[in-house]
Structure 1
């Protein structure tokens, strides 16, 4: 069996595509209306000749230069955005069949592993492909950071390249020392 390929996101052009599709659809509707009015299938006046006549007396103005620069920069941004690589939010497991975990699943796995440690009241985490950040609320902070780091690292060991683990411990004693108990 051939291994599965890694899933990738829609990429940054995913936002621009629907906007351009709407603009092209609107242009198509205007051109279709013009064709129907020209052939006499629909009564009305043509819009394009009126718009061209309105531009006839258009003289150069100072604001056209910045407007042209802005349009050129938008076009350049669209080109760069179109060729940028698509985002990857999955991590491969050490298997021959191509099994991948999404970063949100890696975060859930880390939270579960941290929550199983004695002394942890609540655990939450976030993950990227390179780092897992675990935040735990605990009864005490003595040696808990190392225990949580070890448990999370052990639970992420099946990943081909395990991300770096960063643990933050919040204990009631820290709140009292800062005067947050109001």
Structure 2
């Protein structure tokens, strides 16, 4: 069988966010298979050769597509019922946290501005949803360094998302 171009995977994974946002809580019935697909994708999203620009770019885009899907799922639920969102997301929040931590690492290859913005946005969303229960996972060097780097970005969206995520983290860390 012919192999699917790997870039198609990125596009397909990216559509989950749109679907989740469109059908909000009704997405729950698709949650398990979609999360399994996202898990497989994020586990495959590893840079094995930092000098291979195509691979680095692909991994970056794949991670971003996964994070965008998680964001869409979270926002789709949250828009309707925050308690339902917390309950549903909690079943796979560990996978999201792992991907956030992996996407935050500046080694072997730093994340793109776009990936940093998406990662920061999801951190902010999760901290907004779970508060002190989750913020500890993000108060680690990899994440704080990434947010620091992102706040100095030349890209406005990256700066604003990372500043917002940092503020959300500070809010619940102080409480």
TM-score between both structures, scaled by the size of structure 2? 0.22
Structure-1-length-normalised TM-score: 0.22
Higher Rg of the two aligned structures = 1
Q: More helix by proportion, 1 or 2?
A: 2
